[in-house]
């Protein structure tokens, strides 16, 4: 079997690893000449880290992260170095304690471009990668898929995985539509370095600084204080990043930092349209869509990348059980719909923080549209909104709202990570993720989900696991690895850790 993956983002690269683990030959085609250097995401959930442990890169990821003391907090503040309205340690929350009970893997914080570098440099021997190849055409027969790239070359494969991101060419060629809220907010992303800022920010370090001031309601991610690597997510109204001069971008950085910095190096600026949408279908015959090509999640809580990794995990084991491939779309579409709700609620919390501080953001986009029709509309709009926010913003209101834990961003989210179950698909009467209990295998104790990863690697095939208690299990069509248990219940657990049946 040969599989082509379109796109070398985090999700395409993870698919390639998982296929390699199954001994399946695969090729990634990436349209760029090199991996993206933009750190658009950074927060990795525990379940994602379990998948990364299975493919052998989790320790590398943990080793490249900054020390935990630099990212365990979120600061709600006037500027990065300004007044802090609330400093929230998300490792001391009830959610974190619950998360630690549900998984033996910790959450992680690593800039996306560092993650993709690790995934790329450690690709298994069955994987290969070709840069500078953009898929432009696609056709399918009963037995395979044929594609053509912008370079005019053609490739054939048994199956195609589309991991080609938000503006997926494959999805468009197949005529698959997205539904939902297509344009929630436009952002400009500013990726920059300043060692000076990194050093100063260590006094009250945080993974994310939510800057709330008369001028801004934006977030800044501190990827690494030692390298001085930061990324600003600034909501914009109407004006794309290409219209900001370097001088203006530097002014934004200095304004949000709260100090005149001398060593700013701007790496890149990107426009990002935050949406909350889901594809109407996740597959078409021999083509399967994963990651951002099927869903765009609001960016509060890191659900974009993490859901994509779960898509990859659900899909890739099924290539070893081809009949089950048809269950992928249905299973993931319903699951991702649930995650989309959680991610959207999280983003609404952020909007409410800004609103509770007095900032009027709900109608801004409409005011902006109106201003577009007026002479000097743009400058009038900017001036009026700055003056308006200056009078509206109230630090005391911000502090009062942020004092209540329930109003804060929920970054560690065990519900979204572990507690959503599959409603339908390849399940007899299961659907939930197996609890990560200790079981005894070959006379040693091992966590059940860790064992599934080891079996996949050792057998070069994703393997079903049967935990045999006193109850009898019905006949099962696939080979199974048996582990005795002294409980009443018996379980069949799928290679992706979800329970197929309980007796
Ligand atoms: C500017 C920006 C800011 C973001 N901020 C956040 C955030 O703060 N938090 C968060 O959780 N998420 C954020 N996201 C979303 C997050 O980056 C995505 O959820 C994640 O990268 C999805 O991974 P993916 O592999 O599915 O797609 P992508 O990372 O988009 O990768 C797709 C890959 O496919 C390639 N490609 C596209 N078309 C073709 C083609 N026709 N042929 C060959 N290759 C192709 C692209 O070059 C790219 O390398 C942001 C995204 C962007 C763009």
* pLDDT one digit per residue (tens) for the chain, 503 residues: 999 999 999 999 999 999 999 999 999 999 999 999 989 899 999 999 999 999 999 999 999 999 999 999 999 999 999 999 999 999 999 999 999 999 999 999 999 999 999 999 999 999 999 999 999 999 999 999 999 999 999 999 999 999 999 999 999 999 999 998 776 778 889 999 999 999 999 999 999 999 988 877 889 999 999 999 999 998 876 655 567 889 999 999 999 999 999 999 999 998 888 888 999 999 999 999 999 999 998 877 788 999 999 999 999 999 999 999 999 999 999 999 999 888 888 888 887 887 787 765 554 454 444 444 444 444 444 544 554 455 567 888 889 999 998 999 888 999 989 999 999 999 999 999 999 999 888 888 999 999 999 999 999 999 999 999 887 777 899 999 999 988 888 999 999 999 999 98
Is residue 268 lining ligand 1, measured as CB closer than 6 Å? no
Closest residue by Cα to residue 108 from 411, 327, 368, 381: 411
Contacts of 8 by beta carbon, 8 Å cutoff, 6+ apart: 28, 30, 32, 35, 116, 120, 129, 131, 163
Is residue 9 lining ligand 1, measured as CB closer than 6 Å? yes
Do 437 and 102 form a contact (C-beta atoms < 8 A)?
A: no
Question: How far does the centroid of ligand 1 lie from the alpha carbon of residue 450, in Å?
Answer: 28
* Residue 289: strand pairing partners: 162
In a mutational test of the pocket of ligand 1, which residue from 305, 315, 412 has the highest number of ligand atoms less than 8 Å from its CB?
A: 305
Tokens of 65: 């992260």
Question: How far does the centroid of ligand 1 lie from the alpha carbon of residue 496, in Å?
Answer: 24
Tokens of 302: 């890191």
The H or E element containing residue 370 is: helix 364-372
- Provide the greatest CA pair distance for the chain: 79
Is residue 378 lining ligand 1, measured as CB closer than 6 Å? no
Dihedral (Cα; 418, 422, 425, 428), 10-degree rounding: 90
SS3 431: coil
> Rounded to two decimals, what is the model's pTM?
0.93
Question: How far does the centroid of ligand 1 lie from the alpha carbon of residue 166, in Å?
Answer: 6
In a mutational test of the pocket of ligand 1, which residue from 292, 315, 409 has the highest number of ligand atoms less than 8 Å from its CB?
A: 292
In 10 A of CB 161, how many CB atoms? Answer: 31
How far is CA 312 from each of CA 62, 215, 279, 317, rounded to the nearest angstrom? 21, 40, 16, 9
Question: How far does the centroid of ligand 1 lie from the alpha carbon of residue 236, in Å?
Answer: 20
Is residue 302 lining ligand 1, measured as CB closer than 6 Å? yes
In a mutational test of the pocket of ligand 1, which residue from 11, 135, 149, 165 has the highest number of ligand atoms less than 8 Å from its CB?
A: 165
Question: How far does the centroid of ligand 1 lie from the alpha carbon of residue 36, in Å?
Answer: 9
Indicate which atom in ligand 1 lies nearest the CA of residue 302: 11
Q: What's the CATH code, domain 427-502? A: 3.40.30.120
**Phi/psi of residue 342, nearest 5 degrees:** -65, -45
Is residue 169 lining ligand 1, measured as CB closer than 6 Å? yes
HSE-CB for 423 with a 13 A CA cutoff: 9
Tokens 């319903």: give the residue: 334
Tokens of 263: 């060593």
Is residue 291 lining ligand 1, measured as CB closer than 6 Å? yes
Indicate which atom in ligand 1 lies nearest the CA of residue 292: 26
Question: How far does the centroid of ligand 1 lie from the alpha carbon of residue 9, in Å?
Answer: 6
Contacts of 493 by beta carbon, 8 Å cutoff, 6+ apart: 434, 448, 452, 464, 465, 466, 467, 499, 500
Is residue 29 lining ligand 1, measured as CB closer than 6 Å? yes
Do 316 and 18 form a contact (C-beta atoms < 8 A)?
A: yes
Long-range own/partner contacts, residues 378-382 (CB < 8 A, 24 or more apart): 378/238, 378/239, 381/237
| CA dihedral over 355, 358, 360, 361, signed as positive or negative | negative
**Phi/psi of residue 479, nearest 5 degrees:** -60, 145
In a mutational test of the pocket of ligand 1, which residue from 299, 307, 409 has the highest number of ligand atoms less than 8 Å from its CB?
A: 299
Indicate which atom in ligand 1 lies nearest the CA of residue 189: 1
Is residue 134 lining ligand 1, measured as CB closer than 6 Å? yes
Tokens of 233: 């997510």
Is residue 15 lining ligand 1, measured as CB closer than 6 Å? no
Question: How far does the centroid of ligand 1 lie from the alpha carbon of residue 165, in Å?
Answer: 5
Range 217-229 burial, b when 16+ CB lie within 10 A, else e = bbbbbbbbbeebb
Please tell me the residue having the least CA distance from ligand 1 atom 33: 7
In angstroms, the CA 120 to CA 197 distance is: 30
Please tell me the residue having the least CA distance from ligand 1 atom 3: 40
Q: How far apart are the first and last CA of the chain?
A: 35
Is residue 315 lining ligand 1, measured as CB closer than 6 Å? no
Contacts of 396 by beta carbon, 8 Å cutoff, 6+ apart: none
Please tell me the residue having the least CA distance from ligand 1 atom 30: 165
Tokens of 372: 């577009």
Q: What's the CATH code, domain 2-66+107-180+275-340? A: 3.50.50.60
Question: How far does the centroid of ligand 1 lie from the alpha carbon of residue 4, in Å?
Answer: 18
Do 291 and 275 form a contact (C-beta atoms < 8 A)?
A: no
Alpha helices in 169-266 (DSSP H): 169-173, 195-201, 246-257
Determine the pLDDT at residue 364: 46
Query: Domain residue spans in the chain?
Result: 2-66+107-180+275-340, 427-502
**SS3 per-residue string spanning 140-173:** ECCCCEEEEECCCCEEEECEEEECCCCCCHHHHH
Indicate which atom in ligand 1 lies nearest the CA of residue 300: 9
SS3 178: strand
């Amino acid at each position: 079997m040969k599989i082509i993956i379109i796109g070398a983002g985090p999700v395409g690269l993870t698919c390639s690893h998982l296929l390699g683990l199954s001994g399946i030959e695969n090729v990634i085609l990436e349209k760029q000449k090199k991996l993206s250097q933009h750190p658009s995401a950074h927060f990795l959930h525990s379940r994602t880290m379990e998948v990364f442990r299975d493919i052998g890169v989790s320790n590398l990821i943990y080793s490249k992260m900054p020390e935990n003391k630099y990212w365990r907090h979120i600061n709600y503040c006037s500027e990065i170095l300004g007044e802090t309205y609330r400093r929230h340690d998300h490792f001391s929350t009830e959610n974190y304690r619950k998360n630690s009970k549900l998984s033996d893997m910790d959450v992680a914080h690593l800039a996306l471009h560092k993650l993709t570098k690790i995934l790329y440099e450690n690709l298994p021997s069955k994987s290969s990668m070709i840069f500078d190849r953009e898929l432009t055409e696609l056709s399918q027969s009963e037995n395979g898929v044929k594609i053509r790239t912008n370079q005019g070359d053609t490739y054939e494969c048994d199956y195609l995985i589309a991991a080609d991101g938000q503006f997926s060419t494959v999805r468009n060629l197949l005529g698959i539509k997205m539904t939902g809220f297509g344009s929630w907010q436009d952002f400009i992303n500013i990726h920059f370095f300043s060692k000076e800022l990194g050093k100063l920010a260590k006094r009250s370090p945080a993974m994310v600084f939510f800057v709330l001031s008369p001028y801004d309601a934006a977030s800044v991610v501190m990827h690494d204080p030692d390298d001085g690597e930061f990324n600003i997510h600034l909501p914009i109204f109407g004006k794309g990043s290409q219209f900001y001069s370097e001088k203006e971008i530097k002014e934004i950085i200095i304004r949000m930092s709260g100090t005149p910095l001398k060593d700013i190096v701007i790496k890149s600026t990107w426009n990002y349209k935050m949406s909350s949408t889901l594809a109407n279908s996740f597959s078409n015959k021999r083509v399967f869509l994963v990651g951002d090509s099927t869903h765009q999640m609001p960016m509060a809580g890191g659900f974009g990348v993490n859901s994509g990794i779960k898509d990859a995990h659900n899909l890739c084991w099924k290539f070893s059980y081809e009949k089950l491939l048809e269950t992928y779309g249905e299973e993931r579409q319903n699951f991702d719909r649930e995650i989309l709700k959680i991610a959207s609620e999280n983003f609404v919390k952020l909007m409410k923080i800004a609103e509770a501080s007095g900032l009027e953001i709900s109608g801004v986009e409409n005011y902006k549209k109106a201003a577009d029709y007026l002479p000097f509309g743009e400058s009038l709009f900017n001036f009026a909104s700055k003056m308006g926010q200056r009078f509206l913003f109230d630090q005391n209101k911000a502090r009062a709202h942020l004092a209540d834990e329930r109003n804060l961003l929920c970054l560690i989210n065990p519900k979204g990570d572990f507690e959503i179950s599959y409603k339908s698909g390849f399940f007899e009467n299961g659907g939930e993720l197996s609890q990560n209990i200790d079981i005894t295998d070959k006379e040693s104790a091992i966590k059940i989900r860790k064992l599934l990863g080891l079996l996949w690697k050792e057998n070069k095939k994703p393997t079903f696991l049967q935990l045999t208690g006193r109850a009898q299990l019905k006949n099962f069509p696939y080979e199974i690895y048996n582990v005795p248990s002294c409980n009443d219940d018996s379980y069949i657990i799928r290679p992706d850790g979800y329970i197929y049946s309980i007796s």
